[in-house]
Amino acid sequence: MKLQNLLQELQETSHYEAFQKQNPDSFFAAAFLILDTENKIPQNPEDIPSDQKQIQLDFFIPSQNKIASFPHLSSEPKIHDDKIENMQLQTLKIKIDINDIEPTCKQIIKENNSAISPTKIIAILRDNQWNLTCMDNALGIIRIKIDAISGETLDYNKGSLMDFMGIKKTNS
């Protein structure tokens, strides 16, 4: 699955065309995906029923300082109320694409001598950087930041779901 293909699929819809006419200054700024590595959701977007796609494409509207999200490629966008100061155009000339996320995560995890085997990967692409949260069934979490253009690992952080949620153990 390639990000460029998903954008092209979205841009061919009537709801995207209507959105673009109303917001001609908008541009692609971010992507949000949940990859289910355990149940192996099909890699081709056309093989996934519309109501099961765990993909969101976000567009920044500079004239409104807002984000418009297309939560499913076949649905109307949701324009969020929150004001955003600025977002940059997300390039599509990336080395690490959607279909590279799972093998890249597994390789980085292996290189860091971790035993976590991700069953879900939450992936956010923004500012030409992937922010990846890999989770396993034992509540293990690994957070990885990757430069989407160069493929360079920028950060690696291992923890647990309890750490992620900010839950602290207390000694009684």
- pTM for this one? 0.84
Q: Environment class of residue 10 by beta-carbon count within 10 Å: exposed (0-12), middle (13-18) or buried (19+)?
A: buried
Are 17 and 53 contained in the same domain? yes
Side chain identity, residue 153: T
Report, in angstroms and rounded to the nearest whole number, the Rg of the chain calculated over CA atoms: 17
Assigned domain for 17 exists: yes
Are 38 and 105 contained in the same domain? no
Assigned domain for 142 exists: yes
Assigned domain for 84 exists: no
Q: What element of type H or E holds 140?
A: strand 140-147
Give me the numbers of helices (H) and strands (E) for the chain, helices first please: 4, 8
Alpha carbons 20 and 46: distance in angstroms, whole number: 23
Are 58 and 116 contained in the same domain? no
Terminal alpha carbon distance of the chain: 50
Residue 47 — very low, low, confident or very high, per pLDDT cuts 50/70/90? low
- Domain count of the fold of the chain: 2
**Domain of residue 131, residue span:** 98-165
Asked if residue 62 has pLDDT above 70, the reply is: yes
Are 149 and 103 contained in the same domain? yes
Assigned domain for 45 exists: yes
Residue 170 — very low, low, confident or very high, per pLDDT cuts 50/70/90? low
Assigned domain for 91 exists: no
Give me the CATH number covering residue 105. 3.10.450
Q: Are 58 and 67 in contact (CB under 8 A)?
A: yes
Mean predicted confidence (pLDDT) in 83-87? 89
- State what percent of residues in the chain have pLDDT above 70: 84
Assigned domain for 108 exists: yes
| Residue 56 in tokens | 């969101």
Are 21 and 74 contained in the same domain? yes
